[in-house]
């Protein structure tokens, strides 16, 4: 009885679909899953079927512009800010890395080799664009105006830390600068950036999401690429391919043509550019941003580069790579050195300015450092705050219990270090 | 899609046959649904089942908040449980849309949208499939406000997932995963027992300033029918409901189990004249210790029942707290009747569930202790 009724309904309402079915024998593949042609040739499609995506660059390894039409017409002040921010980042990294070695901060990660990726991309965005980072993007924050004091305060987790002492060093975040607070789990920021971009559709703002060659292996990366494509989100998925994920070289991370080859596979416009070339980074990000705003669709950028420093202060990379390899990159394709050459050739920089700047940079970093070290931590009860917007009863109870305990056993707790 | 059109047309034309079918199905349930005695708010009501009430709540949320988005797998056509029927047609594909089949993507995406101030209401098709999103929920959503010093949060995130036994769901269509998430400070978790609670709690979650997880017992989607207030209303998160007042034993449960316990209370009364107090915990995180302890201090005997397995089940947390706070009041050890420490089986479901006979037996033991 039910079947008859169903068939009756079918005949009445679905005549068109039935007609369509007859066409299956007369045309090319009509499968919903792909728009393509037939073949009678049974051959593998392999990693080498497609030519590897070339790396876009503006300057050669020595800092000479190859095609002047690609030289971005940036004002001198911008070019100088780009360079000096790169060098300030180097200076801060050097001092803070050392301070961890001395036991003064608990942990640090440097950015050596990736200065151009940070500064070049940051310079092509607006302050209103939102940044989701992984952990090696301090240059982006620096470009936007995060102060040396703010960097140091977070590393010390003192009472002025915007993160209120909750996280390990380098887990920066700044609401004013639209830089979403870093979290340690890798790749989690990727689908979040895509969702954020969805929410910002039509606003004229874009989201940029930084991630590494290693993080790109996480399931969240796949999710991000696919959601960005299907839901058409104005997000730049910016991969810092620096050749290593801690000790794991890219050969052990993937076998395809890097991360860039994955973009088109998901239906996403993609660019691959020289991460050591700050002008290429700028141009690529600028083009990506324009596309995102105009089309409200995503772009994958793969910035090719090399991680000069160790993964972090917990890592000694001589355990898995040769010093020669590191020196080779540092000397023959150095993002800051080649940009310095570019600026020097333009008459905007020289050795004297370099000396002066580095001297001042060191002083400024040290001033912030000394001040940051002196500041007390937040009040220790802060550790019970911000679990929820309003503190629920059960957390209040636990806090009060601990207050009584600390009152009684004060001498066993570092209360003097806290406000 | 064509199949669904046939089904919809078919259903409309065969409502009488369906009603008979439904009654047969209901007889096979391990519970008898008891509607709420009164409405939590005054005013006009309409008879709705639980998926209709949820649909109504989502409609209200989308209506009242321009930034609200509803998304997940298959939500566009109405959802596998029909909770999102009509919403895409009404609010457009920009606000109500399908996502690719990827739970970690769904929740990650939802977090990001919430970061930017969009009210993100994400659906996970079955709670059994929420685990790919565990990292995003536990490491990201729950901790975002805390780790950023309050600069960023995803308070506007709500995740909905159908949970619990449905008669034939087996391992992967029956789970109650509340205990995994209860262990995560920063999340809020609620479980409705019927349409009124479902509407009020869902709207409360949507408007709560913290990320919320609402686990909807799928067995109640059709079986639970109530006169639901037409108006927009919220019910409190963190507050348990005493559904039946009693003197001798406190029975605590949530979701479908509440209805089992109400029936058990009735049986205990008729079979051995025991007066039971039945509490719907409603909220797993934060949970209402005061209401529970107040009751236990009065009755001195308590049974906690849940479908989820015994070890590490949320009953353990409630039991531990009860013995801490009410130790000298207790006349018997805290009893737990739960699913066994096995995965959720298929044909063996009648032996697995914390059914009324196991609960009744446990009450007898409590009284005889």
How do residues B182-234 score in pLDDT, each as one tens digit? 999 999 999 999 999 999 999 999 999 999 999 999 999 999 999 999 999 99
Determine whether the interchain pair B111/A392 forms a contact, defined as Cβ–Cβ distance below 8 Å.
Answer: no
Rounded Cα gap, residues A272 and A302, in angstroms: 5
Q: What is the reported pLDDT for B75?
A: 98
Among residues A8, A98, A106, A322, the one annotated as catalytic is A98
C-alpha distances out from residue B149 to A160, A165, A377, B47, B359, Å: 11, 8, 13, 45, 46
Residue A14 has pLDDT above 70, yes or no: no
B189 and A CB contact within 8 Å: no
Average pLDDT, whole number, for chain A?
95
* pLDDT level of residue A11 (50, 70, 90 thresholds): low
- ipTM of this predicted structure: 0.94
Rounded Cα gap, residues B161 and B179, in angstroms: 14
Cis peptide before B91 (omega within 30 of 0): no
Q: Which of B55, B290, B282, B316 is nearest to B190 (CA)?
A: B282
Name the closest residue on chain A to residue B18, using Cα atoms. A2
How many residues are listed for chain B in this entry?
369
CATH number belonging to domain B239-368:
3.40.50.920
pLDDT tens digit sequence for A251-280: 999 999 999 999 999 999 999 999 999 999
Whether the Cβ atoms of residue A418 and residue A376 lie closer than 8 Å to each other: yes
Q: Where in chain B is the domain with CATH 3.40.50.970?
A: 45-229
Determine whether the interchain pair A183/B5 forms a contact, defined as Cβ–Cβ distance below 8 Å.
Answer: no
Residue A403 has pLDDT above 70, yes or no: yes
C-alpha distances out from residue A313 to A41, A188, A211, A264, B352, Å: 54, 23, 20, 37, 52
Name the closest residue on chain B to residue A219, using Cα atoms. B104
- Which DSSP category does A315 fall into? -
Q: Which of residues 99-118 of B touch A (CB under 8 A)?
A: 99-100, 102, 104-105, 107-118
Nearest to B10 among A9, A14, A195 (CB): A9
Instruction: Calculate helix-pair angle for B2-13, B15-28, nearest 10 degrees.
Output: 100
Determine the average pLDDT of the residues in A209-213: 98
Q: What is the reported pLDDT for B19?
A: 66
Rounded Cα gap, residues A61 and A80, in angstroms: 20
Residue B16 has pLDDT above 90, yes or no: no
Q: What percent of chain B has pLDDT over 70?
A: 93
Task: Provide the 10 A C-beta neighbour count for residue A77.
Answer: 9
pLDDT tens digit sequence for A119-162: 999 999 999 999 999 999 999 999 999 999 999 999 999 999 99
Residue A217 has pLDDT above 60, yes or no: yes
C-alpha distances out from residue B41 to A248, A307, B336, Å: 60, 62, 34
Nearest to B146 among A166, A224, A227 (CB): A166
Catalytic site includes residue A352: no
A173 and B CB contact within 8 Å: yes
Q: Where in chain B is the domain with CATH 3.40.50.920?
A: 239-368
Its CATH class, for the domain covering B45-229, is alpha beta
- The predicted model scores a pTM of 0.94
Q: Which of B243, B245, B238 is nearest to B259 (CA)?
A: B243
Among residues B30, B173, B259, B306, the one annotated as catalytic is B173
Residue B354 has pLDDT above 80, yes or no: yes
Q: What is the reported pLDDT for B11?
A: 64
């Amino acid at each position: 009885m039910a079947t008859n009724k169903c068939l009756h309904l079918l005949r009445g309402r679905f005549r068109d679909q039935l007609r369509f079915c007859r066409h299956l024998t007369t045309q090319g593949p009509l499968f919903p899953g792909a728009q393509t042609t037939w073949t009678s040739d049974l051959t593998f499609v392999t990693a080498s079927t497609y030519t590897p995506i070339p790396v876009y660059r503006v300057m050669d390894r020595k800092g000479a512009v190859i095609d002047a039409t690609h030289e971005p017409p940036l004002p001198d002040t911008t070019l100088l800010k780009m360079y000096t921010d790169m060098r300030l980042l180097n200076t801060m990294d050097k001092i803070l890395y050392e301070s961890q070695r001395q036991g003064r901060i608990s942990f640090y990660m440097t950015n050596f080799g990736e200065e151009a990726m940070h500064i070049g991309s940051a310079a092509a965005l607006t302050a209103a664009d939102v940044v989701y980072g992984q952990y090696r993007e301090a240059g982006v924050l620096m470009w936007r105006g995060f102060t040396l004091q703010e960097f140091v305060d977070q590393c010390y987790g003192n009472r002025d830390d915007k993160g209120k002492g909750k996280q390990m060093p380098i887990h920066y975040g700044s609401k004013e600068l639209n830089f979403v607070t870093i979290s340690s789990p890798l790749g989690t920021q990727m689908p979040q950036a895509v969702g954020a971009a969805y929410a910002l559709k039509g606003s004229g703002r874009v989201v940029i999401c930084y991630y590494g060659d290693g993080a790109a292996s996480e399931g969240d990366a796949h999710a991000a690429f696919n959601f960005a494509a299907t839901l058409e989100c104005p997000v730049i998925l910016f991969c810092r391919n620096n050749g290593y994920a801690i000790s794991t070289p890219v050969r052990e991370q993937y076998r395809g043509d890097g991360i860039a080859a994955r973009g088109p596979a998901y239906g996403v416009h993609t660019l691959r550019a020289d991460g050591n070339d700050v002008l290429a980074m700028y141009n690529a990000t600028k083009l990506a941003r324009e596309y995102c705003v105009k089309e409200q669709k995503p772009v994958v950028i793969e910035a090719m580069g090399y991680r000069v420093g160790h993964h972090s202060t917990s890592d000694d990379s001589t355990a898995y790579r040769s010093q020669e390899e590191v020196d080779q990159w540092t000397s023959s394709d150095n993002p800051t050195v080649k940009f310095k050459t570019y600026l020097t050739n333009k008459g905007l920089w020289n050795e004297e300015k370099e000396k002066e700047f580095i001297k001042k940079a060191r002083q400024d970093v040290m001033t912030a450092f000394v001040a940051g070290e002196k500041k007390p931590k937040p009040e220790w009860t802060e550790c019970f705050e911000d679990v929820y917007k309003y503190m629920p009863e059960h957390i209040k109870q636990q806090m009060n219990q601990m207050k009584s305990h600390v009152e009684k056993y004060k001498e066993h707790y570092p209360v003097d270090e806290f406000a | 899609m064509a199949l669904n059109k046939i089904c919809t047309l078919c259903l409309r034309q065969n409502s009488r046959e369906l009603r008979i079918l439904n009654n047969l199905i209901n007889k096979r349930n391990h519970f008898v649904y008891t509607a709420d005695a009164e409405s939590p708010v005054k005013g006009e009501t309409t008879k709705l089942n639980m998926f209709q009430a949820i649909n109504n709540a989502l409609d209200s949320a989308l209506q009242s908040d321009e930034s609200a988005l509803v998304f997940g797998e298959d939500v566009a056509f109405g959802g596998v449980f029909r909770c999102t029927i009509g919403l895409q047609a009404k609010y457009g594909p920009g606000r109500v849309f399908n996502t690719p089949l990827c739970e970690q993507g769904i929740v990650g995406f939802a977090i990001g949208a919430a970061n930017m101030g969009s009210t993100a209401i994400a659906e996970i098709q079955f709670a059994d499939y929420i685990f790919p999103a565990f990292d995003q929920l536990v490491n990201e959503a729950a901790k975002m406000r805390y780790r950023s010093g309050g600069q960023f949060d995803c308070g506007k995130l709500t995740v909905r997932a159908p949970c619990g036994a449905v008669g034939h769901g087996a391992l992967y269509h029956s789970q109650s995963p509340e205990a995994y998430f209860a262990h995560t400070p920063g999340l809020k978790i609620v479980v409705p027992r019927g349409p009124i609670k479902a509407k009020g709690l869902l709207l409360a979650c949507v408007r709560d300033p913290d990320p919320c997880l609402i686990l909807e017992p799928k067995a109640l989607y059709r079986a639970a029918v109530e006169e639901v207030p037409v108006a927009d209303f919220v019910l409190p998160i963190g507050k348990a409901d005493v559904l039946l007042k009693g003197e001798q034993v406190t029975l605590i449960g949530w979701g479908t189990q509440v209805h089992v316990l109400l029936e058990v209370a009735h049986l205990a009364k008729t079979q051995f004249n025991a007066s039971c107090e039945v509490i719907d915990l409603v909220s797993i995180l934060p949970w209402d210790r005061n209401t529970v302890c107040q009751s236990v201090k009065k009755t001195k005997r308590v049974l906690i029942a849940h479908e989820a397995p015994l070890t590490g089940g949320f009953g353990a947390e409630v039991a531990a707290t009860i013995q801490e706070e009410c130790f000298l009041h207790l006349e018997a050890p805290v009893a737990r009747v739960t699913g066994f420490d096995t995965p959720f089986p298929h044909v063996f479901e009648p032996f697995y569930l914390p059914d009324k006979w196991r609960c009744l037996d446990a009450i007898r033991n409590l009284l005889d202790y």
